[in-house]
Amino acid sequence: MATPTEHLVSVDGSGVRFPCAEGDTLLRAALRGGVGLGYECNSGSCGSCRYELLEGEVYDRRPDAPGLSARDRRKGRRLACQSEPLTDCRVKVGPTTEVATHRPIRQAAELRSVTPLTHDMSEFVFAADTHAGFRPGQYAMIMLPDGQVERAYSMSNIGNCYGEWKFVIKRTPDGQATSILFDKLEVGATVVLDGPYGHAFLRDRENQNIACVGGGSGLGAMVSIVLGAAALPDAGAWTVHLFCGGRTERDIHVPEPVAIAGRRLGALHVHTAVSDAGPDTVAGPHFAGFLHDAVLDRLAGSLTDFTYYAAGPPAMTDALARALVLDAGLEADRLHFDRFC
């Protein structure tokens, strides 16, 4: 039964129903209710959450969202991550997916510290009142104090009972959210955290040989996966390869907790790659080339032995998926990533 400030959403042909609070999106309400609608970015860009509205009315948060093509719009398709139901609704969705253990919640969180890691990347630490429930590799939506700008950021720590959420954030030149985060948000400021979201979390009962591939802004998510594997009771049986990449040497940073995690893991190998190595820039100790090429080079001969977790710019995750799944024959369900678009 929906309350007066909620609308009821029925999934056509399935008998599944869930309430959606006023102002919430169809996607987030489904996940809060334990219904696994398909999605990736939660930001209107990837198109994975397309659905059809059969009855009812919704408000579209981002009418020009790139996740819908002109053909989608002609066919009346919408994005569940951008639709706020205004009435009870009946919807037609694609196949439902696995739901992560923690259902997303919205809560206030205070900025506790900002620590620069490279020339354009910093670690932001937030504290909330309740425990930080998420799986390694997931992300949260951060709504900045003006209430207008919300973006997805991956946690760089692991779930904990003291409400600590850490993020490694890369500045986007003239970016709306990162300009506020880096230039205006002061320690003590309050944001709204909504999460966790994301499917690219550590599968802790599967393959103990894993490769974590983090390009630029994807570093935090991969650090979380490494820390998550190191915290498992059978950590000593895990072999982890961590790949970190950037354009030049000044983009490369391997956070300190990774080395500490290495002491608990059976084996930890850290590989770094710089894509702009050339006559004027030296690769130094790093692999010279793109991050997916570093993976192919360093794991040559055993590529299909691993389960892969990846995070970073879509060009990187797409290139990795092509190289591993299409060219090397890796089973698609052994590569996990949420597109950062």
Ligand X SMILES: Cc1cc2nc3c(=O)[nH]c(=O)nc-3n(C[C@H](O)[C@H](O)[C@H](O)COP(=O)(O)OP(=O)(O)OC[C@H]3O[C@@H](n4cnc5c(N)ncnc54)[C@H](O)[C@@H]3O)c2cc1C
Site for ligand X in 168-227 (CB under 6 A): 168-170, 172, 175-178, 198, 217, 220-221
Among 28, 32, 48, 222, binds ligand FES (CB under 6 A): 48
Per-residue tokens: 220: 């935090």
CB under 5 to 8 A by kind: which of ligand X, ligand FES, none does 79 bind?
ligand FES
Among 81, 212, 242, 277, binds ligand FES (CB under 6 A): 81
Q: Which is nearer to ligand FES, 47 or 214 (CB)?
A: 47
Q: Does 79 bind ligand FES (CB under 6 A)?
A: yes
196 cis-preceded (ω within 30 degrees of 0)? yes
Tell me 216's DSSP state. G
CB under 5 to 8 A by kind: which of ligand X, ligand FES, none does 122 bind?
none
How many residues of this chain bind ligand X (CB under 6 A)? 27
Tell me 155's DSSP state. B
Handedness of CA 64, 66, 67, 73 (dihedral sign): positive
Q: Which is nearer to ligand X, 200 or 273 (CB)?
A: 200
CA torsion 135→233→270→325, rounded to 10°?
-60
Q: Does 41 bind ligand FES (CB under 6 A)?
A: yes
User: Which phi and psi angles does 134 have, rounded to 5°?
Assistant: -160, 165
CB under 5 to 8 A by kind: which of ligand FES, ligand X, none does 177 bind?
ligand X
How far apart CA 140 and CA 273 sit, in angstroms, is 27
| CB contact at 8 A, 82 and 44 | yes
Using CB under 6 A as the criterion, what x/- string covers residues 249-278 for binding ligand X?
A: ------------------------------
Q: Does 111 bind ligand X (CB under 6 A)?
A: no
Angle CA(258)–CA(235)–CA(309) in degrees, nearest 5?
Answer: 60
Q: Which is nearer to ligand X, 41 or 277 (CB)?
A: 41
Q: Does 115 bind ligand X (CB under 6 A)?
A: no
Residue labelled with tokens 């259902």: 103
How far apart CA 115 and CA 168 sit, in angstroms, is 9
Q: Does 157 bind ligand X (CB under 6 A)?
A: no
Angle CA(134)–CA(137)–CA(138) in degrees, nearest 5?
Answer: 50
Bridge partners (DSSP) of residue 167 are 124, 155
- Strand ranges (DSSP E) for 198-257? 209-215, 239-246
Q: Which residue is nearest to ligand X (CB)?
A: 175
How far apart CA 189 and CA 139 sit, in angstroms, is 20
Helix axes 314-321 and 291-298, enclosed angle (nearest 10)? 30
Residue labelled with tokens 């639709």: 83
CB under 5 to 8 A by kind: which of ligand FES, ligand X, none does 170 bind?
ligand X
Q: Which is nearer to ligand X, 168 or 316 (CB)?
A: 168
Least distance (Å) from ligand X to the CB of residue 169?
A: 4
Least distance (Å) from ligand X to the CB of residue 124?
A: 9
Q: Does 44 bind ligand FES (CB under 6 A)?
A: yes
Least distance (Å) from ligand FES to the CB of residue 204?
A: 25
Residues at the interface with ligand FES (CB under 6 A) = 39-42, 44-49, 67, 79, 81
Residues at the interface with ligand X (CB under 6 A) = 41, 43-45, 62, 139, 150-154, 167-170, 172, 175-178, 198, 217, 220-221, 338, 340-341
